[in-house]
């Protein structure tokens, strides 16, 4: 089977042709604004002008005639509306002219599948980093699911905005990378990680204030070191959560050598494998659209023309995957932690656990030391304070610069047993979880990594653990992130009980602050995928 794919989600118009054996052609033309960022209608006009010549060129590169095409695929979303509609129109015209089946595909999944196809990765966690996209995606129970994503802007947009403030034209990311290579001084900047979610606005604002006060090279270096450390950390957290040992990088920012180096160091430290597609398949391209279309068409999925309307906010987990995604032969039963290791020991005739925040060699030494020290102290303090407020947490026995010695909780981690519960048992537990979170928030705290993996069920009660990213005197935004994170990870990990997720919010609404729920909706509304 041979499929032609049309990419048009943002600045790049791409045409790709693939067969089941490989990529036959992958040609593209990028819209480059005279100033500022992407202007959607101007980008769409650019795409309309270049698609005919790109199609002709792709056929020539592939060495085939139009009649040899078996199907047409196009990027249905997510993306910029005018650009998506232009790509869809081109695909419909080709489908009608050649009398070939048509299928619209999800742009994010296309990145993942072309990565699997060209690198040999089997069941990876994908770090997807591009202009408007920053997501952690992996397969679970028939769908690709989002385990974490940006709470505000994409990493590529952040780098482009910083570049514009420095007087660098679009696209600014590659120029920032070159400047960073000449950086000599690390400038402390906001580090905003919430479990597997991430935020860049504070980092960007702080970096902009340094322009004119610090060397541009040092600003670029510090921004990359901070932002890429954040990305590497949430990727490692997803590997731990999912007990997987394959990492796939995708998106235009995946071409950055320093990001690749950081993720590679992290992968090596935990004996995982890192995969990166060729550069022309990292950026937005038609070949990935064609390949994903081929998979759908091979599995009997095609569309009527009236079903090919674009979906500007096309969620990754809205797509049912009709083909098998084989699990990697090696699955961690006891996956290494994302930022700490747990040791079981004895202390004053008690059984305890030692939580040790280990050195992360992918981070610059100054940043690594700061995070380990501040997170350890903050976690110990908050665990103790919450116990005083009636929330079940472990007893703290000792603390050092990077180690907390605490009570060993004899129970079951809820993430490991929740899917085996009956509906009534699951409802009972989820109501307890909602009330605990409301109590935590009402006391003025946020958890920062509120997932069922950080809850232990002991004698019918829930004990909360892992407060390394918790906040005291938390604002509404931080509290809302707890809700967003719980919903994201619950949907991804506990799909057998998705029908009871509304029970969680019903219970939280009774006991918690309605402003937090409203802020949750505001956060989700910022995203392109809702």
User: What would the pLDDT profile of 96-119 be if each residue is shown by its tens digit?
Assistant: 999 999 999 999 999 999 999 999
pLDDT for the residue 331: 54
In the predicted model, what is the mean pLDDT of residues 441-464?
A: 95
Q: What is the pTM of this model?
A: 0.90
Residue 461 forms beta bridges with which residues? Answer: 458
Q: Average pLDDT of the chain?
A: 93
Question: What fold does the segment set 121-279 form as a domain?
Answer: Nucleotidyltransferase; domain 5 (3.30.420)
pLDDT for the residue 242: 87
In the predicted model, what is the mean pLDDT of residues 494-516?
A: 95
- Catalytic, 160? Answer no
pLDDT for the residue 207: 97
pLDDT for the residue 141: 79
Residue 496 is inside which H or E element, if any?
none
pLDDT > 70: percent of the chain: 97
pLDDT digits (tens, 9 = 90+) for 275-308: 999 999 999 999 999 999 999 999 999 999 999 9
Note every long-range contact of 421-425, with CB atoms under 8 Å and residues 24 or more positions apart, other chains counting.
421/497, 423/497, 423/499, 423/500
pLDDT for the residue 346: 87
In the predicted model, what is the mean pLDDT of residues 60-64?
A: 97
pLDDT digits (tens, 9 = 90+) for 213-253: 999 999 999 999 999 999 999 999 999 888 899 999 999 99
Lowest mean pLDDT among 163-177, 301-315, 326-340, 445-459: 326-340
pLDDT for the residue 159: 96
Lowest mean pLDDT among 26-40, 46-60, 85-99: 26-40
pLDDT at 523 over 60: yes
pLDDT at 321 over 60: yes
pLDDT for the residue 528: 47
In the predicted model, what is the mean pLDDT of residues 445-452?
A: 94
Q: Answer yes or no: are the C-beta atoms of 506 and 486 closer than 8 Å.
A: no
In the predicted model, what is the mean pLDDT of residues 33-50?
A: 87
pLDDT digits (tens, 9 = 90+) for 325-382: 877 655 555 667 778 888 988 887 888 999 999 999 999 999 999 999 999 999 999 9
- What is the Cα–Cα distance from 214 to 220, expressed in whole angstroms? 10
Tokens found for residue 87:
């790509």
- Cα-based distances in Å from 290 to 54, 68, 338, 475, 501: 14, 14, 35, 45, 36
pLDDT at 480 over 70: yes
pLDDT for the residue 171: 83
User: Which CATH number does the domain 2-114+281-315 belong to among 3.40.309.10, 1.10.510.10, 3.40.50.360, 3.30.420.40?
Assistant: 3.30.420.40
How far from chain centre, in Å, is Cα 110?
Answer: 15
Q: Catalytic one among 123, 160, 218, 449?
A: 449
pLDDT for the residue 97: 96
User: DSSP 3-state assignment of 376?
Assistant: helix
Same fold, 121-279 and 412-525: no
In the predicted model, what is the mean pLDDT of residues 139-155?
A: 89
pLDDT at 529 over 50: no
pLDDT digits (tens, 9 = 90+) for 83-95: 999 999 999 999 9
- What is the Cα–Cα distance from 517 to 487, expressed in whole angstroms? 12
- What is the Cα–Cα distance from 366 to 361, expressed in whole angstroms? 11
Q: Residues in the chain, how many?
A: 530
Torsion of CA 478, 495, 251, 280, to 10 degrees: 180
User: Which CATH number does the domain 412-525 belong to among 1.10.510.10, 3.40.50.300, 3.30.70.270, 3.40.50.2020?
Assistant: 1.10.510.10
Contacts of 463 by beta carbon, 8 Å cutoff, 6+ apart: 392, 393, 394, 409, 411, 455, 456, 457
Sign of CA dihedral 314, 320, 321, 327: positive
CA nearest 259: which of 241, 272, 247?
247
Question: What fold does the segment set 340-407 form as a domain?
Answer: Phosphorylase Kinase; domain 1 (3.30.200)
Please report, for the chain, the start and end positions of each structural domain, with discontinuous segments joined by +. Answer: 2-114+281-315, 121-279, 340-407, 412-525
- What is the Cα–Cα distance from 131 to 136, expressed in whole angstroms? 15
């Amino acid at each position: 089977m041979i499929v032609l794919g049309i990419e048009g989600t943002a600045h790049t118009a791409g045409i790709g042709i693939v067969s089941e054996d490989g990529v036959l052609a992958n040609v593209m033309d990028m819209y480059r604004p005279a100033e500022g960022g992407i202007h959607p209608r101007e980008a769409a006009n650019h795409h309309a002008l270049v698609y005919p010549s790109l199609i002709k060129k792709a056929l020539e590169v592939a060495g085939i005639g139009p009649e040899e095409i078996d199907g047409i695929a196009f990027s249905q979303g997510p993306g910029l509306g005018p650009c998506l509609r232009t790509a869809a129109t081109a695909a419909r015209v080709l489908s009608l002219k050649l009398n070939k089946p048509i299928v619209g595909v999800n742009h994010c999944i296309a990145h993942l599948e072309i990565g699997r196809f060209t690198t040999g990765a089997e069941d990876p966690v994908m770090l997807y980093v591009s202009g408007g996209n920053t997501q952690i995606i992996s397969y679970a129970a028939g769908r690709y699911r989002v385990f974490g994503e940006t709470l505000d802007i994409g990493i590529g947009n952040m780098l482009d905005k910083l570049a514009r403030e420095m007087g660098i034209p679009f696209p600014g990311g590659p120029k920032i990378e070159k400047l960073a290579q000449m950086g000599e001084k690390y400038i402390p900047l906001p580090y905003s990680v919430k479990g597997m979610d991430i935020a860049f606005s504070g980092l960007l604002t702080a970096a902009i204030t340094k322009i004119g006060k610090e060397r541009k090279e040092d600003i670029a270096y510090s921004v990359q070191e901070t932002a890429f450390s954040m990305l590497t950390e949430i990727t490692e957290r997803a590997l731990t959560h999912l007990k997987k040992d394959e990492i796939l990088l995708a998106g235009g920012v995946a071409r950055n050598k320093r990001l690749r180096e950081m993720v590679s160091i992290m992968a090596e430290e935990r004996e995982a494998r890192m995969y990166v597609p060729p550069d022309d398949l990292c950026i937005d391209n038609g070949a990935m659209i064609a390949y994903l279309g081929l998979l759908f068409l091979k599995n009997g999925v095609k569309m009527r023309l009236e079903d090919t309307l674009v979906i500007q906010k096309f969620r990754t987990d809205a797509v049912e995957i009709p083909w098998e995604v084989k699990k990697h032969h090696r699955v961690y039963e006891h996956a290494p932690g994302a930022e700490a290791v747990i040791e079981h020991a004895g202390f004053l005739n008690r059984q305890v656990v030692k939580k040790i925040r280990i050195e992360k060699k992918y981070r610059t030494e100054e940043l690594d030391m700061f995070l380990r020290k501040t997170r350890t102290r903050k976690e110990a303090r908050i665990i103790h304070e919450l116990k005083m407020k009636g929330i079940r947490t472990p007893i703290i026995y000792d603390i050092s610069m990077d180690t907390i010695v605490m009570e060993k909780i004899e129970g079951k981690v809820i993430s490991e047993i929740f899917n085996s519960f009956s509906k009534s048992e699951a409802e009972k537990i989820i109501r307890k979880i909602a009330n605990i979170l409301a109590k935590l928030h009402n006391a003025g705290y946020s958890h920062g990594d509120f997932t069922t993996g950080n809850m232990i069920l002991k004698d019918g009660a829930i004990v909360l653990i892992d407060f390394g990213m918790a906040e005291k005197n938390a604002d509404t935004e931080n509290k809302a992130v707890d809700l967003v994170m719980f919903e994201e990870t619950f949907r991804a990990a506990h799909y057998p009980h998705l029908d009871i997720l509304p029970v969680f919010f019903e219970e939280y609404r009774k006991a918690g602050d309605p402003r937090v729920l409203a802020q949750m909706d505001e956060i989700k509304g910022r995203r392109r995928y809702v």
